[in-house]
Chain A
Amino acid sequence: QQQVKQSPQSLIVQKGGISIINCAYENTAFDYFPWYQQFPGKGPALLIAIRPDVSEKKEGRFTISFNKSAKQFSLHIMDSQPGDSATYFCAASTSGTYKYIFGTGTRLKVLA
């Protein structure tokens, strides 16, 4: 019940295309859903996050879509660029528990 399932494991997208990464969870106590971007050899950096009181959050080319009833959330990268090539992790946490449950990551490659 503590797992966050992330798919796909890897993704190749043409420059200018849309990258979509999906995550699903079981624990309905989760109330914070961040996405992290990680470049090789570096620590993850927070990209965008959402709480379950909204169904969508957009920041620039990055959008989180959240479906509370299906217990799923996804990251959409519009107009994907080669510089977006990285590993993306979804995560979930419950306020006051001090810990994230991470997905297994998606390695995105955007072709020039």
Chain B
Amino acid sequence: SQTIHQWPATLVQPVGSPLSLECTVEGTSNPNLYWYRQAAGRGLQLLFYSVGIGQISSEVPQNLSASRPQDRQFILSSKKLLLSDSGFYLCAWSYQASTEAFFGQGTRLTVV
């Protein structure tokens, strides 16, 4: 069966520090991968999606970047965090030909 791992679960980082959140998927090959952000009291906003290694599409211009160094690995990064980067970050995957997305458990990021 397919599983998605996302870590860390919680993270407190100072303003101006770098960020690296990692997501891996097991049990499937060549999945579509996604990073979403959920701000308090708001819906989920798509940040990045990837249909293959090295292929990243950005939905919202911001202080973050994403990379896909391996087929089932998706990384969300920032060189210098802002207070506004605080939120709940969710990784998700789907089959290539499917619109059904499966979410990880999320990372609660607090920038102080």
Which residues of A are at the interface with B, using a C-beta cutoff of 8 A?
A: 4, 6, 32, 34, 36, 41-46, 49, 89, 93, 95, 98-100, 102-105
Report the minimal beta-carbon distance from B106 to chain A, rounded to whole angstroms: 5
* A/B interface sample: 13 pairs, CB < 8 A: A6-B43, A43-B6, A43-B105, A46-B101, A89-B43, A89-B44, A93-B99, A98-B51, A99-B49, A100-B44, A103-B43, A105-B41, A105-B42
> Which residues in window 36-50 of B have CB below 8 A to A?
41-46, 49
Task: State whether B90 touches A43 (Cβ < 8 A).
Answer: yes
Which residues of B are at the interface with A, using a C-beta cutoff of 8 A?
A: 6, 32, 34, 41-46, 49, 51, 57, 59, 90, 92, 94, 99-106, 108
Chain A contact residues, majority secondary structure = strand
Chain B contact residues, majority secondary structure = strand
A9 to B32, CA, bound (A): 30
Q: A44-B90, A102-B45 known; 13 other A-B pairs, CB under 8 Å? A: A4-B43, A6-B43, A34-B100, A36-B103, A43-B6, A43-B104, A46-B102, A89-B43, A98-B57, A99-B49, A99-B59, A104-B41, A104-B42
Report the minimal beta-carbon distance from A110 to chain B, rounded to whole angstroms: 20
Task: State whether A102 touches B34 (Cβ < 8 A).
Answer: no
A42 to B105, CA, bound (A): 5
Given contacts A45-B103, A103-B43, contact A98 B49 (CB under 8 A): yes
A93 to B104, CA, bound (A): 19
Chain B residues near A100: list those with CB within 8 A. 44, 46, 99, 101
A105 to B42, CA, bound (A): 7
Report the minimal beta-carbon distance from B24 to chain A, rounded to whole angstroms: 14
Task: State whether A95 touches B99 (Cβ < 8 A).
Answer: yes
Report the minimal beta-carbon distance from A108 to chain B, rounded to whole angstroms: 15
Task: State whether B43 touches A43 (Cβ < 8 A).
Answer: no
